[in-house]
Structure 1
Amino acid sequence: MLPCSAAFFLLATFSIASAGVRRKRQGKLCSFFAASMRRIRAAPHPSLLAFGCSNAGISDAARLIFLNTHNEARLSVAQGLEPNKCGLLGPAKNMYKMVGFLQM
């Protein structure tokens, strides 16, 4: 289990409170952490866990949690499942899955 540092808590809070992570998921942080840990263990390739970032303030596991949560939010927007003041947002035409941060 990951240590609960301030950066990790802020990352999880941001992921739950913003970015439109479906309203069903705004429950307890414990269930969010458990689901995030399952996603880390289910990573398709070990190279995805090695971000190679020189900043040691956030672990690679926390980066992977953020990346997966961000991609889930992007998928929800891309599929047109996110609400706005007039109903739902329209689906996206070309919204690709993010695979890492160092390519930016």
Structure 2
Amino acid sequence: MFVVSLNYKVPLAEIDRLAPAHVEWLKVCYVEGIFVASGPKNPRTGGVIIARGPRDVLDARLAADPFAKAGAADYDVTEFTARMTAAGLDAFNEV
């Protein structure tokens, strides 16, 4: 699994302009089964995505994000192995 940390590089007005396309991109990634959870950071300096699947697929999807295409965000990806999960999330255990 992966934790993706997005950090905005442009003013929030530009993020807000790109947000509808970004949300549509997120929806596609959920349908594809790549994303598990996502949401904005607080304070609103970026966002966080929990993802799964092969790293090359994730990298390709992140490159297709409207924020990435516009140069509006940087992405920091951390891979981890989910060995324990909360009740009801057993499907995400990797070992």
TM-score higher than 0.5: no
Instruction: Give TM-score, length-normalised by structure 1.
Output: 0.30
Greater RCO between the two (CA within 8 Å, min separation 6)? 2
Structure possessing the higher radius of gyration over alpha carbons: 1
Instruction: Give TM-score, length-normalised by structure 2.
Output: 0.32
More strand as a share of residues? 2
More helix as a share of residues? 1
